[in-house]
Amino acid sequence: MTYRPDPDRYDRMTYRRCGVSGLKLPAVSLGLWHNFGEDTPHETKRAICQTAFDHGITHFDLANNYGPPPGSAETAFGEILRTDFAGYRDELVISSKAGYHMWSGPYGEWGSRKNLIASCDQSLRRMGLDYVDIFYSHRFDPDTPLEETMGALDSIVRSGKALYVGISSYNSESTRKAAAILKELGTPCVIHQPSYNILNRWVEHDGLKDTLQDLGIGSIAFTPLAQGMLTKKYLGGIPEGSRATQGKSLAREKITDSAIKSIRKLNDIAEARGQTLAQMAIAWVLRGGGITTALIGASKPSQVVDCAGAVGNLEFSAEELAQIDAVSQEEDINLWARSSNGE
Ligand SMILES: NC(=O)c1ccc[n+]([C@@H]2O[C@H](COP(=O)([O-])OP(=O)(O)OC[C@H]3O[C@@H](n4cnc5c(N)ncnc54)[C@H](OP(=O)(O)O)[C@@H]3O)[C@@H](O)[C@H]2O)c1
C-alpha cells in the first residue's frame, strides 16, 4: 500500500533551533545504528521510519558503517527514500558520518581527507542522494591534523555533498579547536553528537555541554535511553530479543543489580510525572534547552510512539531533578570515551 504521511505530523512534535544556525531539528530524532541491517526485515524498517515521520520526526541519522553488514542501513534507508519517502526529501534532515572502520587498508577509517571524502561519496551512492543535510567526522583522530579533517568537511560542503557539518564524540578542548578552524574556513560547525543520558554524564564533567552553548553549536545526544537501560524493559530480567541479548553493543554485564535498583527508582519518578521512563529519560537530556535533540533508536514502531511522546512534558521541577540525581549513579557504559579522551 502506498504510504501517506499523517497530515497532523507537524502538530505532534516540537522543533528546536540547532545552535545559532538556521536549521531546526525535532526534539526527538531517529538513528539507524541498530535494527536497519540485513538481520532485520525490511517491513520492520519501513514501519519504524513511517511511524517516526508520522510523529513529526524529520531527522534520520545514519553513518557509513551502520548495519550489519556495514553500509546496509544506508542501503535500506535509500530504498525507503525511493519508495515511502519519495517526494518528501525537502521535509527530511538526513545525516551520515565517517571515521570508524569501513573498508580494508589505510584509507578506510579515521579522519584523513582521503577517508572522509570517499566515504561521503559512498554514502550518497548507497542512499541514492545528491547530498546529505549533515555530514560528521564520527570520531576524533589523534594522528591526523585537525586542519585536514575539518578541511575535508569544508570541501564536502563546498562541493555540494552536504549542507552542514558536525563532529561526534570530540571533547570540549578539541571541539573548540575544530570549531575555530571551521569558522576560519567559512563552514561553521553546526552540530555536535555526543553520548549523553542520566547514567552517562561525561558531557557535563568535560565541560562540553557548556562549550557548545558558549560557541552556539547545536547538539544531538545519542543513546538518551542508555541503549534501552533507561526503559522498563530490564526491570524483570533480560528479555529475549532485547539488545542486551544480541551480543552487539550492550553487554549483558552492564545490566547490574545496582543499575536495576536505580532504574527502578527512576521509573517511580517517571510514573509520578505521568510519563514512561523512556519519556522522562529523553526529557531529562533536553532539559533547560542545553541539548537540541535526543537521538533515539528503536526496534519497533511502538517504541518510536512512546519516545516521541516525551515532548508532552519537557519541564522538570528542581525537586524532580534532585530526586533523579539522588537515585541514579553513573554506569560504565560510555563506549565512545576513547574518542573524547583523544585516543
Ligand atoms: N556518533 C556516534 O558515535 C553514535 C554512537 C551510537 C549511537 N549513535 C546514534 O544514536 C542513535 C541511537 O542510539 P541507541 O539506539 O543506542 O539509542 P537509545 O535510544 O539509547 O537505545 C535504543 C534502544 O532502546 C530500546 N528502546 C527504545 N525506545 C524504547 C521504548 N520506548 N521502550 C522500551 N525500549 C525502548 C530499543 O532496544 P531493544 O532493541 O532492546 O528493543 C532500542 O533499540 C543510533 O541509531 C545512532 O544514530 C551515534
**336 CB less than 6 Å from ligand 1?**
yes
Boundaries of every domain in the chain: 15-340
| Ligand 1 pocket test, candidate residues 267, 303, 305, 339, most atoms within 8 A of CB | 303
Ligand 1 atom at minimal distance to the Cα of residue 232:
33
pTM: 0.98
Q: Which residues of the chain have pLDDT under 70?
A: none
- Beta carbon of 61 within 6 Å of any ligand 1 atom: yes
The yes/no answer on whether domain 15-340 falls in CATH 3.40.50.300 is no
Q: Is the shortest distance between the CB of 299 and ligand 1 below 6 Å?
A: yes
- Residue 290's pLDDT is what? 86
Which pLDDT value is given to residue 334? 96
In three-state form (DSSP H/G/I as H, E/B as E, the rest C), the secondary structure along the chain is CCCCCCCCHHHHCCEEECCCCCCEEECEEEECCCCCCCCCCHHHHHHHHHHHHHCCCCEEECCCCCCCCCCHHHHHHHHHHHCCCCCCHHHCEEEEEECCCCCCCCCCCCCCHHHHHHHHHHHHHHHCCCCEEEEEECCCCCCCCHHHHHHHHHHHHHCCCEEEEEEECCCHHHHHHHHHHHHHHCCCEEEEECECECCECHHHHCCHHHHHHHHCCEEEEECCCHHHCCCCCCCCCCCCCCHHHCCCCCCHHHCCHHHHHHHHHHHHHHHHCCCCHHHHHHHHHHHHHCCCEEEECCCCHHHHHHHHHHHHCCCCCHHHHHHHHHHCCCCCCCCCHHHHCCC
Distance 224 CA to ligand 1 centre (A): 7
What is the predicted pLDDT for the residue at 1?
A: 75
